Amino acid sequence: MTTPTDAFIDALPKVELHVHLVGSASVATVLELARRHPGGPVPTTEEELRAFYAFRDFPHFAQVYGAVNALVREPEDVATLVLGLARDLSSQGARYAELQVTPYAHSIVGMPMREVTEALDLAARRSATDHGVEMAYIFDIPGEFGEEAAKITVMHALEEPPAALVGFGLGGIEQSRPRYRDAYRDAFAAARAAGLHSVPHGGEMTGPESVWEVIEGLGAERIGHGISCLQDPRLVAYLRERQLPLDVCPTSNVCTGQVARIEDHPLPRLLEEGLFVTLNSDDPPMFATTLAGEYRVAARVFGLGEPELARLARNGVHASFLAPERKQALLAEIDALTG
């Protein structure tokens, strides 16, 4: 049964700021790729694939993600994933997305940088014309792969960037990062000097120290997850004072074992502390969620009403790297819906 709140969420213009290319692949798309590239560990039936997506912890999630990532072997596969996400987001009232792409993963299977970029450019154009979703890209370093991954990611960003590249990120297993700290700092310095925005993950599976590092060492303008910031009152005060956005993904944090139950998620407290929060889906089919589904969680589990949901949507627009005139147009759409 559709409630008035459901109808409001469906109609609410949204942006998606934290979603990964491979993690955005629908079950149907993954099955298509698994059948196209057989012989790997990824199941080829829907029932088995859904069981494959039952994660024990974050390392297990990373292992599964890597297996699916290995199915993306040709530029056409890259374009297929982008367009699939645009189609899915369009059906949820989304107008814009900043999609996290991992060039290192494409490099190690032999895809030339130029061909990956051409696929991303083509997909961005078709996302807009076919689905009405403006697509931007963030190139991210997989944190557990060290100096080589950092080198390849920044090289691709500087030498063969897609036209819609707006940001530079760092993801993966946070516990692996300290040993490569200097390489990541150097890569981010080069990317920022080239005009790219800094949007690393931090505070997802480690404590506040990883949030401080992405702020002080990587110049973060927006932080992926950041939920462990609540363990450090000084950090909370810093984030509140500067209104540094946190891209929060509640269902993801439960599915990867960072939070025991959705009811325990710190989203309400982040809001109570006056922090700047955006709502996102991360790897939606892998976590059996959607962007609209995260808004439903915020309403049903945490009791957020229409004004609070609209505020989260506005936060996403403000925190995005859209051109100012596009931001104003989207904010006007939200205002028109909320009266």
pLDDT at residue 282 in the model:
96
CA 20 to chain centre: 5
Question: Is 102 buried (19+), middle (13-18) or exposed (0-12) by CB count in 10 A?
Answer: buried
Average pLDDT by consecutive 10-residue portion of the chain (339 residues)? 90 97 85 84 87 83 83 90 94 97 94 97 98 98 96 98 98 93 98 98 97 98 98 98 98 94 98 98 92 98 98 98 97 93
pLDDT at residue 207 in the model:
97
Residue 63: how many other CB atoms lie within 10 Å: 13
Question: Is 218 buried (19+), middle (13-18) or exposed (0-12) by CB count in 10 A?
Answer: buried
Question: Is 196 buried (19+), middle (13-18) or exposed (0-12) by CB count in 10 A?
Answer: buried
pLDDT at residue 332 in the model:
97
Distances (CA, A) of 96 to 93, 283, 315, 323: 10, 16, 13, 11
Long-range contacts of 322-329 (CB under 8 A, 24+ apart): 322/15, 322/96, 322/134, 322/136, 326/96, 326/134
Q: Which positions are annotated as active-site residues?
A: 204
Amino acid making up residue 30: V
Question: 286 and 42 in contact (C-beta within 8 Å)?
Answer: no
Amino acid making up residue 157: A
What's the farthest any 2 CA atoms get from each other in the chain? Answer: 54
Give the Cα-Cα-Cα angle 220, 222, 223 (nearest 5 degrees). Answer: 85
The yes/no answer on whether domain 4-338 falls in CATH 3.40.50.1100 is no
pLDDT at residue 213 in the model:
98
Which residues is 169 bridged to in the sheet?
140
Question: What whole-number distance in Å separates Cα of residue 135 and Cα of residue 122?
Answer: 11
pLDDT at residue 91 in the model:
95
C-alpha closest to that of 273 among 320, 232, 313: 232
pLDDT at residue 187 in the model:
98
196's CB contacts (< 8 A; 6+ apart) are 139, 157, 165, 166, 167, 168
The token pair that represents 82 in the structure block = 């982008």
Q: pTM to 2 decimals? A: 0.94
What are the residue boundaries of the structural domains of the chain, listed by start? 4-338
Which residues is 20 bridged to in the sheet?
100
